Every structure is written in structure tokens, then in C-alpha cells.
Amino acid sequence: MSPTPLRTAVVGAGKISGAYLRTLRGRPEVTVVAVADLDPARARLAAGSVPGARAVSVAEACAAEDVDLVLNLTVPAAHAEVALAAIAGGKHVYGEKPLAATTGEAREVLTAAAAAGVRVGCAPDTVLGTGLQTARAVLDGGGIGRPVAATAFMVCPGHELWHPDPEFYYRPGGGPLLDMGPYHLTALVTLLGPVRRVTGLTARPGERRTIAAGPRAGEVFPVEVATHVTGVLEHAGGALTTLVMSFDVWQARLPHLEVYGSAGSLSVPDPNEFAGPVALHRAGGPGWEQVPVLAGHPDTGRGCGVVDLAWALADGTPHRADGELAFHVLEVMEALLASAEAGRAVEVTSSCGRPAAVPTIRTRGDLT
């Protein structure tokens, strides 16, 4: 039996909201009752795609008596402001990544939520899919022995090639690390545990970018953040990860994520996706072998972390895409940038537990 539906208001009706609404529509655990956006027309359009949902203002979404959770899909610079308003209204909050633009703002959100007795969840929830969960099952089962190292790469020429309003990707709170890093770092923490120290370097080869898609194609805007970040992460368990996040690479032949152990190597699919092939190369073995799906929610999408939170509230258990994990990932990213600025290794002061694994066999409906 499903829990009582978690009545949800979506704040931010931009491009990513469509992916969330596709997942949440029809889920018995979640009912989208309202949609808010600074552009009322956009809120009305999104609300119209969900039976029974109404368009409201942001303030109304955070205060409405028939809202249990605010799904915060605003731009990173507004994440903390909206989350704090929702918490002040007694709502649980689930937000897009990163948790906030800074760890200072993020800690304020977590502190306010603890005082109010409400929960904070945060994307990415891609780690709940079959790709990362199958890879985790291999690691936890000793498939590659003791993890020694990992590599994680996300390289592309920049989001202005496809996004009609890409400026926020190039302002504080954006850049390849803050935008795409949460996927890879959340996956790495899920697989290898928290990070205790980092060393980073950054570059910003260009000061301006040109919008290539949509009605504003041809407009030029300034770049305010590093667009190429590379670093080394030391996990608490001893494994070392090499990380590269870039908006300055036109093409490459790099793995999304690989883990290397004392008894083999593991190829992990794109952490920005919920599924994908997992391959294992055993020490002394004949080559790479594809691993069958061992765990994770199949055929799901963005928003499955909200459904997981609804189940956790009903069961009185921790939810997996939680605020402490998101805070730790944000601090790791800040530490990488601080290391590049200072020219030395930087300690990461926060920690977090690995979220509970998603089991292979579930006694209740998959998050499909």
C-alpha cells in the first residue's frame, strides 16, 4: 500500500520541470497540487499539464495549507531563498542541485529544517537507478577487491549550444563543477564514501560565450566562473579519484566513471542518467564482461528521489537523496575551487553516510 500522497508544489517551471512532472504524474505517492514561477504564464502552462494543479505565486506555494512539500526547481542562486521560505511555511523541501549557491547558505537551510522538524532532499537522484546501484552492488560484493582509485569525467563545449537561456550556468553557483559535478560526486560518494581532502586547479579560457539556440541566438554574455576544473579527491576509505569537469572540450574519448580495485576494474555508466551498462574486468580475466542489472529502480526519471522521500516519511526511515549528502558534495566542490585559488590541498570538514542501497527485489511498486 502506498503512503498518503505527498502534496507537492513545484516552484520553478523552467526546462527541468518537465522531466520532474513526467515522473511524478500518476505516481500514487505524490500529488502535484500547484506550480509557481516568476513568469505567471509559464506557471499556468506547466500547471495545465498536471490534472488538478493550479498556478500560484512563489509565496502562495510556500504558505499553502494543502502543500506538504515544495519541489524547488529554481536557478541555483535562488535555491536557499526558496527553501528557507518553504521551511518557514512548515514544508518539506526537495531541490535541484546544488543544495545552495554556497555551503554557508546550505547550512542555513539544513539548520532551519532541523528546527522546524521538516526534511530536506536534493538532486541528483540518478544514483537510485539501475546503473549506479548495480555498480554499487558489484563493489559491495567485493567484485573488484579493495577500491584503490577512480576516474570521473564530464567534458563538453558548453550549454549555450543547446540552452535558450544559458547565462546562469556561467555565473556564481554555476560552471561545469557546480552544474554537472553533483552527478559525478554524488555517485562517487555513493560508491566510495565521503571525501576528506581535495586538490584542484581551474581555468577560464574565454571571457564571453555566444548563445547558439532559441530566439536569443547570437547574443553574447560574460563568463564569470571557471569553465574547466580538474582535481584529485581523497576518500575517507583511502581511494583516490581524478576528476575533470569542463565546458571547454569539443570532443573526447573518456569514460564517464571508472573504479579500479585490487582485484579488478569497474566501468560505471553516465551518472547523469538512471540506467546504462555496467562492465567488470576481473584481475586475470579474459576482458570486460557486462554485468546484469543487480539493483536499482528501473525505467525511472528525475523526481524518483521525491517518491523515495514520500516512502521514507511514511516508514519513518531516512530518505536517500538527503540534505547532508548534498551538503557534503557542495563542500567538496567549494573545496576544489578553494584549493585552486590557494594553490594547496584543502581539507573537507563535513562528512556523510552512504545512502542505503536500493535493493534488487522490492515488495512495493518500482519507481517507474
pLDDT digits (tens, 9 = 90+) for 89-121: 999 999 999 999 999 999 999 999 999 999 999
- Do residues 178 and 133 lie in contact, with contact meaning Cβ atoms separated by under 8 Å? no
In the DSSP assignment, the letter for residue 225 is S
The alpha helices in 123-260, defined as continuous H runs, are 130-140, 175-192
Integer Cα distance of 103 and 95 in angstroms: 15
- Binned at pLDDT 50, 70 and 90, residue 3 comes out as confident
Question: pLDDT tens digits for 120-152?
Answer: 999 999 999 999 999 999 999 999 999 999 999
Average pLDDT of the chain to the nearest whole number? 95
Domains of the chain (ranges, CATH numbers): 6-122 (3.40.50.720), 130-295+330-347 (3.30.360.10)
Q: What pLDDT score does 360 carry? A: 64
Integer Cα distance of 177 and 169 in angstroms: 10
Integer Cα distance of 170 and 242 in angstroms: 23
Q: What are phi and psi of 113, to 5 degrees?
A: -65, -40
Measuring CA to CA, how many Å separate 71 from each of 56, 131, 292?
Answer: 14, 25, 33
DSSP letter string over 76-100? GGGHHHHHHHHHHTT-EEEEPSSSS
User: By percentage, how much of the chain surpasses pLDDT 70?
Assistant: 97
- Binned at pLDDT 50, 70 and 90, residue 174 comes out as confident
Q: What pLDDT score does 1 carry? A: 53
Residue 355: CB atoms within 10 A of its CB come to 20
E-assigned strands of the chain?
6-11, 30-36, 54-56, 69-72, 92-95, 120-122, 147-155, 195-203, 208-210, 220-222, 228-235, 240-246, 257-261, 264-268, 278-282, 289-291, 346-347
Q: What does the pLDDT average to over 169-193?
A: 95
Integer Cα distance of 283 and 41 in angstroms: 58
**Angle value at C-alpha 43, between 40 and 44, nearest 5 degrees:** 90
- Do residues 299 and 366 lie in contact, with contact meaning Cβ atoms separated by under 8 Å? yes
Of 171-180, 258-267, 306-315, minimum mean pLDDT range: 171-180
- Binned at pLDDT 50, 70 and 90, residue 84 comes out as very high
Residues 268-283 as b/e (b if ≥16 CB within 10 A, e otherwise) read: bbbbeebbbebbbbbe
- Do residues 364 and 310 lie in contact, with contact meaning Cβ atoms separated by under 8 Å? no
Q: What pLDDT score does 285 carry? A: 92
Whole-prediction pTM value? 0.94
Listed in sequence order, the residues at least 6 apart from 218 whose beta carbon sits closer than 8 Å to its beta carbon are 210, 211
Total count of residues recorded for the chain: 368
Measuring CA to CA, how many Å separate 199 from each of 189, 205, 260, 340?
Answer: 17, 20, 20, 7
Of 173-177, 222-226, 356-360, minimum mean pLDDT range: 356-360
Question: pLDDT tens digits for 205-233?
Answer: 999 999 999 999 999 999 999 999 999 99
Using the structure block, give the residue that is written with the C-alpha cell 586475470: 284
Q: What pLDDT score does 363 carry? A: 37
Q: What does the pLDDT average to over 71-80?
A: 94
Listed in sequence order, the residues at least 6 apart from 33 whose beta carbon sits closer than 8 Å to its beta carbon are 7, 8, 9, 52, 53, 54, 64, 66, 67
Of 153-157, 303-307, 364-368, minimum mean pLDDT range: 364-368
Residue 351: CB atoms within 10 A of its CB come to 15
Measuring CA to CA, how many Å separate 302 from each of 62, 132, 272, 295, 366?
Answer: 22, 15, 10, 18, 14
Please determine, for residue 28, whether its predicted confidence score (pLDDT) is greater than 80: yes
Integer Cα distance of 239 and 126 in angstroms: 22
Please determine, for residue 362, whether its predicted confidence score (pLDDT) is greater than 80: no
Please determine, for residue 306, whether its predicted confidence score (pLDDT) is greater than 80: yes
Integer Cα distance of 133 and 278 in angstroms: 10
In the DSSP assignment, the letter for residue 277 is -
Q: What does the pLDDT average to over 309-321?
A: 96
